[in-house]
Amino acid sequence: MPAKRIIPCLDVKDGKTVKGVRFEDIRDVGDPVEMGKRYSQAGADELVYLDITASHEKRQSLPDLVTNIAEHLDIPFTVGGGVRNIKDAEVLLEAGADKISVNSAAVRSPELIDQVAKHFGSQFITLAIDALEVGGGWQVYINGGRIGAGKELFSWAREGQERGCGEILFTSMGHDGARRGYALEALDEVSRRLSIPVIASGGAGVMDHFAGLFRYTGVDAALAASVFHYGQITLPELKHYLNGQGLEVRI
């Protein structure tokens, strides 16, 4: 079984890394390039950069920033936000991104997943899904959690796999930034229904949350932001802790 991946996420707004709680109360936490360099040096397996207002503002992610990031990193990184067509994906990949992430545009035009997968390969496309538990079910939201998509989490994840995405990044909106643990039941359900890798996002607060995620679900990677940005957990100590718990990670 492949080693579990630890992936810091950097939400970007106006060229700065920001973080909020449950998709609200957004605050500036630093420079995305410098933070990416530090995470790379500290042992991150990958990074995810999400331009959190690109879709809402109906614009493309900033290729100049992606080029700058690529020049300073030696680990893979994914870029999401504002990818609406093949050309947008091509610009980001040519700028240096290893993978692109699609979310809102894929909900509106699911064939975008087919097109990007066919043109670049499934390994280059991640389907990001933001979902909130409502009335006992999980509903998908778009535009940075602002608009209900009218889709159900598990069926949409399955459709994404069938259309050719290489992995799923599932963020539980109700857990995002709350630091009370991941949405374990939903994450396990997603991973059991799919054959492609699943990245868990939303809820990490202490190291045991990562251990519980890998122990009790079938996800392949854990994504987190605020606990890393604010220094509550460092990557080296987290990886050594997980290794001591009998969980395989790259030290």
250 falls within a domain: no
Any idea what DSSP says for residue 63? Answer: H
249 falls within a domain: no
Q: Which residues are catalytic?
A: 11, 130
What is the domain-level CATH number for residue 131? Answer: 3.20.20.70
207 falls within a domain: yes
Split into its structural domains, the chain has a count of 1
Domain range enclosing 186:
5-244
- The predicted-structure confidence for 23-49, as pLDDT tens digits, reads as follows 445 556 688 999 999 999 999 999 999
238 falls within a domain: yes
- The predicted-structure confidence for 56-69, as pLDDT tens digits, reads as follows 444 445 788 899 99
186 falls within a domain: yes
**Mean pLDDT, residues 137-156:** 92
Model confidence at 213, pLDDT cuts 50, 70, 90, reads: very high
What is the pTM assigned to this prediction? 0.91
Contact between residue 27 and residue 244 where contact means Cβ atoms under 8 Å apart: no
Q: Phi/psi at 239 (nearest 5 deg)?
A: -65, -40
251 falls within a domain: no
240 falls within a domain: yes
The four Cα atoms 159, 163, 167, 170 give a dihedral, to 10 degrees, of -30
110 falls within a domain: yes
